[in-house]
Structure 1
């Protein structure tokens, strides 16, 4: 590029794609998205045909800040001539396949450079220089005034399960693996684990493998999707959470696991229905569900090749061994590594736990000599709370970034987002966001 881009966004997931979408209608804002993969793929290893998005279609790339945007989900439906089928369906939650198709539709209309693997980012005195390997192995270099990091997450496997080789598959790759084992054990009880167990139970009813489900949690817990709890995914709660000291944020966040690491009530009902159906069948391989169990170590037998899991029952303290042929680790994700930031690392300020220090506008703390800004997308769970990975906050986060890099209010941020007052009276971080106060005014200014 002959001139620096205003923003280079590294990674093409829903969040950075949403940033490019919002920027696409701003005449004086140039955003380029770089993606290492040759095409957009979204959780392909968990793309079950009947799986639904867990949020409303309103949590698309743009609607919650600009419902008239040409890259909204409704615009996609209109372009695909599916508005009426979607309307008659009367379900606000699209299927995951439909949502992925929507993302690809949007990406085809935006400045996304696929097959561009970023290998280095450095500060060159007045701009960032982003370098890497492009199409057919050719090198590339792009300059930018600001950066947005949206590299997403990477599968996380606990130490207790490492060393199992091809006897282990992470949930993210489940549908990429042909399951032929006679005994399958799923470890972990979030939504991904539950959907895999659901698939395995269906196979079991058709004469398929024995199924065991182990989880550390005391119960197979449902997601808390009650309305006032969902207000924790609103900008109002994000502002309150960010206003807390970091040690308090960490303590509060640990209490919120049922909001994003549990199982939808609909999935739990389907699981129970399948278990009930097994009552009328005979000769099926066994099924075992055990909550409150921690896997402490694992090994493979040299003679039989089977997997042996050493487990601890958390209520009784008893240990036992569990034998299986394949382990599916539904054990979540961690932040994807960013080795390309090594040249920039001396200029990055981190907290005591090595995490980014993230401002309310999602920019990270840098050395004062750096006049450009680096923003993060979905790397701010510790600073912005439970809403950080939620698709419903993506448009607001991106509008905040657009406003920050342009220095003006391009997008009006929502003010009335929750009925709950999260802070103490008079606390700026938790002022009323609703309209039920005695003075009848909204308490938040949307900053």
Structure 2
């Protein structure tokens, strides 16, 4: 997540990836656009801007602090980690084991789809034929350290290339932050803070069906659909499993298996 000093420097010229579509036209009418990020959202936005670059004529750059622009695991056996069986297996592990497992699942949870990377490379290749310069600047291992506005239209972005420990600056009129999301508990949640089971200072206990774990039994429940990676692993942020998460909630509320959870579709076993 961005440092506090950088957040204070952000203006309307900085657009989060979640607001890209509604700001795309204005962004494309600028002289230069820089994307910061390395995931699927950053890649899709970069590809869209690359495709329209000839028509609008802006300079285009992509930076990430990650070690590279890597593909997401899309093998069929790998994707079985998103099955109900794996979510149930992961949830049964002790908290310490779950935390140890999450980094090992990085290629499943993070990265860019193979087809998106291929489309970007093919477009870069065809656009570079006969040209002396690449149509875009792409650079990994570069962490954004500071932002300065140098005139009415332009910003100077200061980066640290963390591997060779060098610093460099980059100028841009518009900046797109594809830097992900940070969970934030609503203010009303504070009243339950002492009643909830906490697995760490910031991570609350969660049942398999999404119910927050309370220290004492209660009739009224609170269900969490986000900020539960520590409890549900790979399935916590996977949109394809949104239906499954809702099924579990409805089944609890109705007190019966109103919507059966589909199982037996994996070829591997997890225990």
TM-score by length of 1: 0.55
Is the 1:207–1:284 Cα contact (8 Å) retained in structure 2?
Answer: no
Is the 2:127–2:135 Cα contact (8 Å) retained in structure 1?
Answer: no
2:225 is aligned with 1:397: no
Is the 1:295–1:310 Cα contact (8 Å) retained in structure 2?
Answer: yes
Q: How does 1:24-103 map to 2 (within 5 A)?
A: none
Is the 1:185–1:211 Cα contact (8 Å) retained in structure 2?
Answer: yes
Kindly tell me the number of residue pairs found equivalent between the two proteins.
267
Q: CA deviation at 1:160?
A: 6.0
Given candidates 268, 272, 277, the residue that maps to 2:117 is 268
Q: CA deviation at 1:244?
A: 1.9
Is the 1:161–1:297 Cα contact (8 Å) retained in structure 2?
Answer: yes
Q: CA deviation at 1:417?
A: 3.1
Could you tell me how far apart the structure 1 residues matched to 2:69 and 2:115 are? 13
Tell me how large the CA RMSD over aligned residues is.
2.3
Q: CA deviation at 1:254?
A: 2.4
Cα distance, 1:255–1:245 mapped onto 2, change above 3 Å: same
2:169 is aligned with 1:327: no
Q: How does 1:93-172 map to 2 (within 5 A)?
A: 159=4, 161-162=6-7, 163-172=9-18
Q: CA deviation at 1:215?
A: 1.0
Deviations 1:62-109 (A, max 9, x none): xxxxxxxxxxxxxxxxxxxxxxxxxxxxxxxxxxxxxxxxxxxxxxxx
Long gaps (5+) in structure 1: 1-155, 423-429, 431-447
Greater relative contact order, per chain length (Cα 8 Å cut-off, separation 6+): 2
Q: CA deviation at 1:225?
A: 0.8
SS of residue paired to 1:166: coil
Could you tell me how far apart the structure 1 residues matched to 2:109 and 2:200 are? 25
Could you tell me how far apart the structure 2 residues matched to 1:160 and 1:210 are? 26
Is the 2:128–2:134 Cα contact (8 Å) retained in structure 1?
Answer: no
Long gaps (5+) in structure 2: none
Could you tell me how far apart the structure 1 residues matched to 2:4 and 2:123 are? 32
Higher helix share: 2
Q: CA deviation at 1:285?
A: 8.5
Q: How does 1:367-406 map to 2 (within 5 A)?
A: 367-368=215-216, 370-406=218-254
- Structure number, greater radius of gyration: 1
Q: Which residue of 1 aligns with 2:161?
A: 313
Could you tell me how far apart the structure 2 residues matched to 1:181 and 1:174 are? 14
TM-score by length of 2: 0.88
